[in-house]
Amino acid sequence: MKVKATIAYDGSKFFGFQRQVENGENREVTVESKIEEVLQSLEINEKILGSGRTDRGVHAIGQVISFDVPEFWKDLEKLKKQLNLKLSPTITIKSLIEIGDIFHPRYNAKTRSYRYIVANTDPNPFLADYVMFKKNVNLPRANEAMKCFIGKHDFEYFRKTGSDENSTTREIYKAFAYKHRDLTIFVFEGDGFLRSQIRLMMAGVIEYLNRKVTLENIQDQLKKKEKKITKPITHTGLYLAKIKY
């Protein structure tokens, strides 16, 4: 029986989502390796499939995975409770349902949504792994920069070097920022994202807020005319929010 799980995790406690293997051994603890370790303790000796990989330090509140379970675990509510007991507090199974055999969490995904959270306060050591700190975010100006990314673009100049994607064209359906109490939330929704693409887009927004680049600079980089934004923003504050199927 194949199941689909929606999970949340604290990315600061893991070396990314994807398993890192060296000489047949897991090199570091990742979200994938931790979940598979717990599944094995429950006699589920299956590899999991994820909707996408998140880098070290990136959090998730809506990551989707799938895996096969033996018939003796047909009580999925009980399985969910057992998994959460063993995965707590760094990973939580939010939902666990039976899904058809042809379902693939990555290839069947239609949209992916991310949130980048910026605290408009003084730095706080207890939040340092979960937000970026920047006071006085000019919301209209932030949205001017965010609007540049909407649409279909070749994001070759907005990805980390060494990426191995066949195509660098992606479509962004939504890109906007809004205020919530003392936070500014930056929303990105698209058909998919390249490695470090969101962190580089956010770097462009922050540099525009700091008046270090212009809207023309961002647009020229999207057109692959000139690369002004080269360093991804910190991973703290980035969350995989939701996958739609």
Q: Quick: pLDDT tens for 171-207.
A: 999 999 999 999 999 999 999 999 999 999 999 999 9
pLDDT score at 204: 98
- Residues recognised as catalytic: 55
Give the residue from 209, 212, 229 showing the smallest Cα distance to 155.
229
Question: In CATH terms, is domain 2-98 a member of 3.60.15.10?
Answer: no
Condensed to tens digits (0 to 9), the pLDDT of residues 29-68 reads 999 999 999 999 999 999 999 999 899 999 999 999 999 9
pLDDT score at 13: 95
Residue 200 and residue 74: Cα distance in Å, rounded?
43
Sequence ranges of the chain with CATH classification 3.30.70.580? 2-98
Q: What is the pTM of this model?
A: 0.93
Residue 23 pLDDT greater than 60, yes or no: no
Q: What is the architecture of the domain spanning 111-244?
A: 2-Layer Sandwich (3.30)
Residue 195 buriedness (CB in 10 A; 0-12 / 13-18 / 19+): middle
The percentage of residues in the chain with a pLDDT greater than 90, rounded to a whole number, is 90
Assigned token pair, 90: 């760094």
Element (H, E) at 37: helix 31-41
Contacts of 45 (CB under 8 A, 6+ apart): 39
Q: Rounded to whole angstroms, what are the CA distances from 140 to 54, 116, 179, 216?
A: 29, 17, 11, 17
Contacts of 46 (CB under 8 A, 6+ apart): 36, 39, 67, 68, 69
Sequence ranges of the chain with CATH classification 3.30.70.660? 111-244
Mean pLDDT of the chain: 94
